[in-house]
Amino acid sequence: MTLIVAVRGKPKERGVRVLLDDGAQVPVLSQHIATQLNIPRWKHKEPLSLQAWDSSAAEGGVEYGGPVVLRHREDHFTKLSLELAPLDDEVDVLLPYWWLQQHRPEGFFDGPNHVTFGSTYCKKHCTSLAVQGQDWTHYFPSSDGARGHSTALSRCCSTDPRGSATAPP
């Protein structure tokens, strides 16, 4: 997958290593990547309690970042705000169980180039913005971190900062 962020008001893409984690409850972005890409950050009023795979307390849960857009291949886009936490050096993004349930990726056993998102939900809400004939620059907040988003980008799947799914408009 690639992560699309606004840099000086223009979209830039960077490849990211994504772990589809059916044990996770919220999407998480590596603090290192968030810093490197200058992704907007906000503090939670009340820190979240994050747990590692072994139920031990995990660092993070104080800040969240985004929104960012994840792109898989040419035709699947997801807009997310993600919790920021230190992650293993081999993972940049964790996507949680509810994301897997909503998007229903298929083709894992055929290799990474064969993963597809053919669900009815994704066909309706996560299709290529290019197919809609829109200019990318209209889909990102201004570089000052403003939270205004066009309704077209909101058609992509989105989450609130706490990670619960919200319905597209």
Model confidence pTM above 0.75: no
pLDDT at 129: 54
Query: Rounded to an integer, what distance in angstroms lies between the CA atom of residue 134 and that of residue 64?
Result: 28
Phi-psi region of 8 (alpha: psi -120 to 50; beta: other; left: phi over 0): left
How many other C-beta atoms are found inside a 10 Å radius of the C-beta of residue 76? 22
> What is the residue extent of each domain of the chain?
2-166
Query: Rounded to an integer, what distance in angstroms lies between the CA atom of residue 146 and that of residue 50?
Result: 27
Question: Which CATH superfamily includes the segment(s) 2-166?
Answer: Acid Proteases (2.40.70.10)
- Quote the tokens at residue 101: 């349930």
47-80 tens-digit pLDDT: 777 766 666 666 766 788 888 888 887 778 888 8
Comparing 25-29, 74-78, 107-111, 146-150, which segment has the lowest mean pLDDT? Answer: 146-150
Residues 6+ apart with CB under 8 A from 66: 29, 39, 40, 80, 81, 82
pLDDT at 30: 92
Q: What's the whole-number mean pLDDT along residues 130-151? A: 42
SS3 at position 84:
strand
pLDDT at 158: 40
82-140 tens-digit pLDDT: 989 888 899 999 999 999 898 888 887 887 778 888 888 888 888 765 334 454 444 44
Residue 36 predicted with pLDDT over 50: yes
| Residue 156 pLDDT class (50, 70, 90 cuts) | very low
